[in-house]
Each structure stands twice: as C-alpha cells, then as structure tokens.
C-alpha cells in the first residue's frame, strides 16, 4: 500500500506516473522537527536504497546528500555523486519504503550523527513523501516502481561488449580498435565516441577533418556488427554561426541569469549556455537535434556533463583572478597560500553558481538550485521523447551520467567516473543492486576503471563481474594506461570471459526484459530473498534473476573468497565456455578457490540458465544453439524478441526445458 503525504507546495518532479490521493493527518513512522523527518532505528534495522551513492547495500553509518555532482573522486566519505534517488527501505523491526519526491537538495543522515537515528532534511518545506508498506522488500520495490513507471528497455545489441576511451581522435583510431578486436577474435558490438568526434566540442556537429565521412564510417562499422555511440554534452557552445547556439538564443531556449540574459558557464567547449530542458518547448527543440546523428546511422547515445557540470562561471573566475592578483602583491604566507588554492578550487561546480541561473518551467521562473537534481533527467527525457517521434518503433540506446528518480523511464545510466581501484569494483557490485531498486536496470560501470592506471588482473576480475551487467563497457580517461583488452598479456583469458558474456546474452536479456515488464529488479541483495542473519549481512553477493547468485572476486591477488550459501547451490568455476567444473555445495559457509582466469558463480537449487554459443556480435547470436545449463530436469522462462522494435510484451515469454 502506498500513502502520499504532501508538505507545502512542491515543484513537479515528474518522478511518478500514478496519481495517488493525498493522505491527510500525521505521517506514518517518521516524526518531524521543522524541515527534518526523524526515524528511530532498531539495532538490527537495515536501511537499503538511495541508488547512486558510495558505500554498501546497507546504507547505515554514514550521511548522504542528493545534490547531483560531477565528482570523479568517489571516496568512502563522498556525500554526493551524479544522481538523486531518494528512495529507502527500512527492513528489520519494521518494514516499509519511503520516497522523498523532491527536486532540490536533500540530506540523509543514516545513523551518522546518532547511530540509531535516521534524519532526512530537504532544503525547504515543499515536497511529497510516499510511504510504501508491503509483504517484503521485493514487493515494496515493485510498488515503488509501479508508482514511478516502467523502466527503459534498451535494444539487444546494447548487451554486447562495448569499447570506449576518452582519446579516440579520428576515424582511423576507431578503425584500429575495431580491427584489433576482430583480428583477435574478441566479440564486440559497439565503439563509443567521446567528445573528440565533435567540432570544437559543439553538440550535434562532427569534426569533418577527423571524421571526413561520418555516415560512411557508421555504415562501415555496422557492416562488421559494430555500432558507434557518440557522447552528447549538456552545454551548448557560444559561437557565432553555430546553428544550435543561434536558434537557442533566438527562441529563448537557454537558462537565464537574474537579469534575463542567457547564462554563461564554461565547460569543454569553452563558454556555453545550458539548454533549458525543464521547459517543454526547449526540451522538444533540444531532443530533435539528436536527429542530426540518427540521420547518419547512429543508434545510441550517452549524455554527459548533465548535472550540469560547471568548470567555472565568468563572474567567479573574475573574482578569483582578482583575489589571486591581490595575494600576489603580498608577501605570501601560509594562510595566503591556502586562500590562493581556494580561489582556484572553488571555481568548479560551486553551489553558489547554481543559484545564479533560472529555468522557465512553462511560464514560471524557477531558480536552478531548487530543481538542480532534475537537469540530467530532463536532458535524457528530451532525447527519449524525440526518439519516439524520430523512430517510433525502434529502440535507441540511451544512457546518462546524471539522473533522478523517474529518469529510468527514459534511459539507463552508467555509474560515472570511477577509478581503477579494487574498491570501485566492489562499489560497482553494490551500486548495481542499489540502482535496480530505483528502476535503473540498464546500468554498468566503466569496466577496468575510468581514472588512473588499471592493471591486467583488475581488468580481468572486473570483466568477470561486468559480464553479468546489461551495460558492459570498457572505458578509460585521457592520459591513463590504455586498457583495450588486447593490450594485455592475459588477452586470451579476457577473450574467453567476453565469449562467456555472449553465451549469456539470451539469459541476461531475458532477465532484464522480465524485470522491465514486471517492475522487478534484475539484481537483488541476498537479504531480499533470505532472511537469515548471514544473508542479511552479506554485502558482496548478489542474486541475478531467480537462477544465479554472484559472488565476484574483487580483491587483488586473491585466489578465491568466502561465500555464504543460504541454501544448496551449484558452484560453477569457468575458464571458458568448454572448460569448467561444477559442484553441488550444501548451504553454509564455504571458501571457494578462483584463480585469476576463473569466473565463479552459482546456480540456484533446481534452476538452470540458457546458454548459446559465443558470437562475434549480438546480431550473430544463434538462438538455435540454446541449451540449459544447471540442475537437471529444470526449466526456464525465456523472454525473447527481435531486440529492436518496441513490441515488448509478456507474450514473448516461453518455457524452455
């Protein structure tokens, strides 16, 4: 059951799709003190949720802020990442979910200030709170998802392996990557284009010197089964003669400053304006621009910098420079040195800069910080609504960096600028589950790590987890060690892992689509299914569908790991599709060995998964080679369809034995 409580006069977030009549009277479970919602936690209560945040499945013991931020340094004490997902589940003495539907900045203190107190504090007093009670955690998630709408369905090709790197500069770089994958017989479905494909980082342009025949290249790649996936940034470059800029100015489609001038910030293209995607006309206009690339054969995009990220604003840059000049005149001591550092460090993503511009939400002037967390959501919505018109019966791949609850209807998301750290592999494992709760089923992290140099063992272990996530993309930052899998001594092992991925695609796609259709999670914490104390405390094992339990190895030099089995399961240790062992293990604690080149996972009791033969790309997957792998005499409910049209329905499910 869902109860809605309205406080003050909330700004519409479009997070929900169902109208629930307001419950008058006092809010259940929580007490209130001014703006703050207070909940006393019992000693054994687990707090799940919050989607994209650092730390584990149980969020207890830290504080978090929903304040979308471009922050490439995800550490244990990070307060905000790129997305806002204000949904939590309390599971223990009581069991309920709470969704704080709010567009502004809101903080969650989950046993940080006081171990047994959860407090939620929005910036102001205008929000809707939904309290969801249900039979169990999965049921509560399902109701939340029903409230917020069906998840985005990606095309099947988006389940193939993707190679990306910030630094591919021209058509030949792209060709070289494709060739290396093909020559080494490593399956691949997509190559991502980062900002360098554009002309001076201008959205909806292609650099004609670097990519002389862009649609030719798109077609050439497609022939090999490879799709190119270009990036789109939030800021529109200020440049005379650039149509997107000129149209936006003329039609008043950009965010305005306090004086009504188009607001100026600086990001990759230099000085930019932000399209006012919260305005329905501007949203429509911006979305239609994607057609420029669709017309050239593009079938997928990733939206970046849409928190929106700001490197600096002109005003702040001026005052920082003034400050620095002043300091330079002094005989600089230590305090002045720190002031100088601050003057530079406070330039990017400064919270005060988000108070300097305004949206025109269909006639109403709203200051950006009040709706900050909705920007990425609406940029992605702009694209998705336009795709519906441009190609009504074709699925376009779309995923975004910034997001908010509700955006899952329009696209997926990647997990942002992680690092090549083992701890970020664990974060990826946990975040995948947390994002599934809030409907982001199409997700994955930058495999191998985005920032800093990866190592070949980290790459391989990361592959062994990512081969289960819908988005399986190897991506890395400019200046870091190159990490295309063919660059490593262990390429053979990487290839075998990617082949296992392709054999799993019928299963992964099926589980994904069933989760889309049923408002379910594809990945769940063990504690959602098993309520014994070990399962509830397990932070590094996940259930995938009803058939698989994952227990990835995520520490360096490990030759195995400890696993808790709440029930008997089939242990699978796989070096390649035809080189593996299985063993039935009884419930209990186990140490499983897993050498670096060995993928380990579990099939649940009396279950089996479909596997097909490996393929060069998803288009070449041969469904006639499908066979069941797992417990004997079991069956599986397979969802399958053409993978590209929007004819999605439960009628596409059949039982295979």
Q: How many beta carbons lie within 10 A of that of residue 534, not counting itself? A: 15
Minimum CB–partner distance for residue 154 and ligand MIG (Å): 18
Rounded Cα gap, residues 598 and 460, in angstroms:
9
Q: Is 421 in the site for ligand MIG (CB under 6 A)?
A: no
- 469 versus 576: smaller Cβ distance to ligand MIG: 469
- 89 versus 305: smaller Cβ distance to ligand MIG: 305
Rounded Cα gap, residues 539 and 543, in angstroms:
12
Task: Please pick, from the candidates 101, 128, 137, 194, the single residue that binds ligand MIG as defined by CB under 6 A.
Answer: 194
Rounded Cα gap, residues 351 and 354, in angstroms:
5
Rounded Cα gap, residues 484 and 278, in angstroms:
38
Residue 612's region, left for phi above 0, alpha for psi from -120 to 50, else beta, is beta
Beta-bridge partners for 132: 2, 97
- 256 versus 473: smaller Cβ distance to ligand MIG: 473
Minimum CB–partner distance for residue 491 and ligand MIG (Å): 23
Minimum CB–partner distance for residue 201 and ligand MIG (Å): 9
* Cβ atoms of 252 and 360 closer than 8 Å: yes
As given in the structure block, the two tokens for residue 629 are: 């792998």
Rounded Cα gap, residues 353 and 339, in angstroms:
19
- Of the candidates 586, 581, 626, 613, the residue with the CA atom closest to the CA atom of residue 600: 581
- 279 versus 432: smaller Cβ distance to ligand MIG: 432
- Alpha-helical segments (H) within 121-277: 137-148, 171-183, 214-223, 243-250
Minimum CB–partner distance for residue 444 and ligand MIG (Å): 12
Chain centroid to CA 416:
7
Q: Is 499 in the site for ligand MIG (CB under 6 A)?
A: no
Minimum CB–partner distance for residue 195 and ligand MIG (Å): 4
- 118 versus 228: smaller Cβ distance to ligand MIG: 228
- 194 versus 456: smaller Cβ distance to ligand MIG: 194
Q: Is 401 in the site for ligand MIG (CB under 6 A)?
A: yes
* Cβ atoms of 132 and 2 closer than 8 Å: yes
- 201 versus 507: smaller Cβ distance to ligand MIG: 201
Minimum CB–partner distance for residue 417 and ligand MIG (Å): 5
Q: How many beta carbons lie within 10 A of that of residue 342, not counting itself? A: 12
Minimum CB–partner distance for residue 476 and ligand MIG (Å): 8
Q: How many beta carbons lie within 10 A of that of residue 581, not counting itself? A: 10
- 299 versus 307: smaller Cβ distance to ligand MIG: 307
Minimum CB–partner distance for residue 416 and ligand MIG (Å): 6
Count of residues in the chain: 657
Site for ligand MIG in 468-487 (CB under 6 A): 475
Q: How many residues bind ligand MIG (CB under 6 A)?
A: 10
Residue that is written with structure tokens 């008043």 in the block: 252
- Alpha-helical segments (H) within 106-229: 137-148, 171-183, 214-223
Minimum CB–partner distance for residue 305 and ligand MIG (Å): 6
* Cβ atoms of 565 and 534 closer than 8 Å: no
- 227 versus 536: smaller Cβ distance to ligand MIG: 227
- 233 versus 369: smaller Cβ distance to ligand MIG: 233
Site string for ligand MIG, 149-178 (x = CB under 6 A): -----------------x------------
Q: Which residue is nearest to ligand MIG (CB)?
A: 166
Minimum CB–partner distance for residue 586 and ligand MIG (Å): 44
Q: Is 207 in the site for ligand MIG (CB under 6 A)?
A: no
Strand 627-630 relative to strand 608-611, pairing: antiparallel
As given in the structure block, the two tokens for residue 458 are: 């980290």
CA angle 15, 16, 20 (to 5 degrees): 145
Q: Is 417 in the site for ligand MIG (CB under 6 A)?
A: yes
Rounded Cα gap, residues 545 and 520, in angstroms:
9
Minimum CB–partner distance for residue 267 and ligand MIG (Å): 8
As given in the structure block, the two tokens for residue 544 are: 């995938």
- 104 versus 416: smaller Cβ distance to ligand MIG: 416
Task: Please pick, from the candidates 127, 195, 265, 570, the single residue that binds ligand MIG as defined by CB under 6 A.
Answer: 195
Site for ligand MIG in 523-552 (CB under 6 A): none
Minimum CB–partner distance for residue 597 and ligand MIG (Å): 28
- 13 versus 349: smaller Cβ distance to ligand MIG: 349
Site string for ligand MIG, 584-623 (x = CB under 6 A): ----------------------------------------
Residue that is written with structure tokens 């050239």 in the block: 296
Site for ligand MIG in 287-346 (CB under 6 A): 304-305
- Of the candidates 487, 505, 485, 504, the residue with the CA atom closest to the CA atom of residue 495: 485
User: What are phi and psi for residue 334, nearest 5 degrees?
Assistant: -60, -40
The residues binding ligand MIG (CB under 6 A) are 166, 194-195, 231, 304-305, 401, 416-417, 475
């Amino acid at each position: 059951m869902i109860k809605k409580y309205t406080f003050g006069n909330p700004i519409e977030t479009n997070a929900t799709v169902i109208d629930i009549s307001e419950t008058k009277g006092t809010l259940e479970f929580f007490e209130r003190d001014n703006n703050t919602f207070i909940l006393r936690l019992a000693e054994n209560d687990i707090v799940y949720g919050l989607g994209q945040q650092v730390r584990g499945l149980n969020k207890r013991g830290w504080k978090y802020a929903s304040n979308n931020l471009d922050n490439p340094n995800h550490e244990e004490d990070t307060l905000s990442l790129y997305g806002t997902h204000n949904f939590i589940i309390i599971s223990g003495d009581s069991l309920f979910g709470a969704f704080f539907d709010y567009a502004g900045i809101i903080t969650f203190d989950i046993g940080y200030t006081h171990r047994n107190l959860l407090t939620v504090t929005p910036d102001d007093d205008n929000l809707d709170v939904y309290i969801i009670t249900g039979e169990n955690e999965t049921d509560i998630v399902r109701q939340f998802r029903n409230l917020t709408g069906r998840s985005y369905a990606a095309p099947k090709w988006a389940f193939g392996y993707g190679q990306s790197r910030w630094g591919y500069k021209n058509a030949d770089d792209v060709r070289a990557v494709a060739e290396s994958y093909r020559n080494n017989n490593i399956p691949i479905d997509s190559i991502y284009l980062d900002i360098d494909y554009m002309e001076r980082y201008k959205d909806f342009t292609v650099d004609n010197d670097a990519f002389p025949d862009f649609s030719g290249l798109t077609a050439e790649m497609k022939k090999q089964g490879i799709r190119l996936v270009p990036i789109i940034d939030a800021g529109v470059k200020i440049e005379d003669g650039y149509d997107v800029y000129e149209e936006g100015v003329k039609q008043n489609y950009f965010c305005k400053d306090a004086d009504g001038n188009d607001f100026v910030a600086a990001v990759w293209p230099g000085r930019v304006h932000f399209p006012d995607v919260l305005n329905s006309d501007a949203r429509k206009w911006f979305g239609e621009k994607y057609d420029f690339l669709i017309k050239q054969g593009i079938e997928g995009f990733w939206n970046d910098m849409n928190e929106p990220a700001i490197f600096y604003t002109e005003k702040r840059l001026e005052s920082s420079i003034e400050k620095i000049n002043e300091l330079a005149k002094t005989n600089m001591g230590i305090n002045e040195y720190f002031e100088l550092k601050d003057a530079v460090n406070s330039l990017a993503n400064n919270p005060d800069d988000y108070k300097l511009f305004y949206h025109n939400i269909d006639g109403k002037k709203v200051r950006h910080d009040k709706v900050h967390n909705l920007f990425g959501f609406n940029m992605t919505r702009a694209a998705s609504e336009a795709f519906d018109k441009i190609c009504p019966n074709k699925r376009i791949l779309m995923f975004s960096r910034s997001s908010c609850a509700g955006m899952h209807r329009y696209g997926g998301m990647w997990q942002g600028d992680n690092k090549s750290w083992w701890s970020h592999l664990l974060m990826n494992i946990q975040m995948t589950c947390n994002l599934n709760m809030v409907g982001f089923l199409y997700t994955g992290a930058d495999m191998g790590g985005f920032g800093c140099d990866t190592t070949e063992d980290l790459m391989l272990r990361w592959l062994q987890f990512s081969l289960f996530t819908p988005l399986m993309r190897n991506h890395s930052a400019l200046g870091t060690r190159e990490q295309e899998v063919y660059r490593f001594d262990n390429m053979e092992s990487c290839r075998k892992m990617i082949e296992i991925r392709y054999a799993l695609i019928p299963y992964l796609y099926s589980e994904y689509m069933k989760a889309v259709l049923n408002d379910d999670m594809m990945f769940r914490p063990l504690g959602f299914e098993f309520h014994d104390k070990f399962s509830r405390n397990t932070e590094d094992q996940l259930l995938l569908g009803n058939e698989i339990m994952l227990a990835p190895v995520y520490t360096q030099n490990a030759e195995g790991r400890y696993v808790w089995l709440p029930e008997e399961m089939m242990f699978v240790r796989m070096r390649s599709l035809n080189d593996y062992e299985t063993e039935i293990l009884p419930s209990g604690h186990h140490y499983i060995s897993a050498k670096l080149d060995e993928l380990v996972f579990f099939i649940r009791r009396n279950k089996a998964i479909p596997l097909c033969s490996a393929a060069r790309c998803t288009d070449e997957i041969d469904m006639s080679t499908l066979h069941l792998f797992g417990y004997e005499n079991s069956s599986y409910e397979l969802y399958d369809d053409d993978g590209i049209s929007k004819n999605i329905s439960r009628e596409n499910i059949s039982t295979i034995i």
